[in-house]
Structure 1
Amino acid sequence: MTSIGITPEERAELGKALTDALNPLAAAIRSRQSGLSTARMWEADPVEVTLSVLAAWKVVDAEVKQLTARAAATAGSYGANYEQMGAVWGITRQGARKKWPGAVPRPAAAKAGAALELFGGTAELVQDPSSGGWAWAGEGADGTRGAAEDGTWYAAKEEAAAHAGAFLREHAATLS
């Protein structure tokens, strides 16, 4: 799933609905600050009125951020990953992980690794618990040891396995 846009008509409807929902909050904030009743809010200094509207949007912004984090955590609990969340939000996988840390449950240690035996050699696939990325280390049938390049974490277990498999194929025992 990718980021979803809305039509101009939907945007206009959303703007109206949000403004309608915001007005009572802005009026309450202005009333507390000015001592005027909410019915007389618009009679106050225009700068003060517009600042109360801005203050109300700040409250809404904080609430939206909390609701967004809750939605991300819910998606993660159902199996969504950071790549999917980032695609929907229009940011990278890393950006999604930074925006909603902990939204995707970390894999259990028992699931964090796997062994690969190919071409007479073996490789261990390991998952980084903090990033969820995958790396590998192994020994070819010819005794050569190898591993993913320093700092390289692959997005998927299958990608790390493909790189490990290519290494094991290159270092297969030669038949005499």
Structure 2
Amino acid sequence: MTVPEITPEEQTALDKALLEALNPLASAIRSRATGLPEHRMWDGDPAEVALSVLATWKLVDAEVKRLTATAAGTAGSYGASYEQMGAAWGITRQGARKKWPDAVVRTPATAPIGLELFGGTAELAQDPASGRWTWTGRGADGEQGAAGADVRYGTREEAAAYAGAFLQEHTAATP
């Protein structure tokens, strides 16, 4: 994923929207600091007014960082890697890991899960590195099977479905 470019028209619209969102907050903060009513926010020493706007942008910046971390965590919860997040943000994988250390949660390796169906058995296992699932099994007819070498499933249930289909195909032959 490449970092998207913003057009001049989009930049103008973004600036306008951000300023419209900032002004009520800046007015409220300045009013609390000076005791002046919000509609008189711009009255007073121009440097003081500009500094109060700057201080308000700092608050907005902190909120954007919080929302950005939330978005990174959401992406990580859906399986995005630090490499993908870094690409979206225009930084390296290592930079993304440093910026959002808790965005990608590596689940601890789980013990394999046994499955018995149609007279056969299968074992579901989670890959600790990717969090994805695989399976191996032995049908009731003695046939052994497994997910392909490069095949990993996104959920335990998906791996169980494939293992179950294998076990169903390999039931014991009836005499």
For the superposition of Structure 1 and Structure 2, which TM-score range results when normalised by the shorter chain? 0.5 to 0.7
Question: Is the aligned partner of 1:89 residue 2:72?
Answer: no
1:29 aligns with 2:2: no
Q: Deviations over 1:32-89 (max 9, x none)?
A: 1111111111111101100110111011001100000000000000010000000010
Q: Name the SS of the counterpart of 1:43 in structure 2.
A: coil
Matching residue's letter, 1:97: R
> How big is each residue's C-alpha offset from its partner over 1:94-144, in whole Å with a ceiling of 9 and x where there is no partner?
000000001011143259xxxxxxxxxxxxxx97x7xx8xxxxxxxxxxxx
* Aligned equivalent of 1:60: 60
Aligned to 1:70: 70
Gaps of 5+ in 2: 112-126, 131-149, 151-175
- Percent identity (aligned): 68
Q: Which amino acid aligns with 2:75?
A: A
CA drift of 1:8 comes to 1.0
1:101 aligns with 2:101: yes
Taking structure 1 as the reference length, the TM-score comes to 0.62
Q: Aligned residue for 1:44?
A: 44
Which secondary structure does the structure 2 equivalent of 1:42 belong to?
coil
Question: In structure 1, what is the Cα distance between the partners aligned to 2:95 and 2:109?
Answer: 25
* Counterparts of 1:5 and 1:82, CA distance in 2: 21
Partners in 2 of 1:33 and 1:44 — Cα distance? 12
* TM-score, normalisation: structure 2: 0.62
Aligned CA RMSD, in angstroms, stands at 2.0
1:10 counterpart residue number:
10
> What does residue 20 of structure 2 align with?
20
C-alpha distance in 1 between matches for 2:44 and 2:87: 45
- Give the distance between the partners of 2:46 and 2:89, measured in 1 at CA: 36
1:4 Cα deviation (Å)? 1.1
Shift of 1:2: 1.6
Instruction: Tell me the secondary structure at the aligned position of residue 28 of structure 2.
Output: helix
Runs of 4+ in 1 over 4 A off after TM superposition: none
How many residues were matched structurally?
116
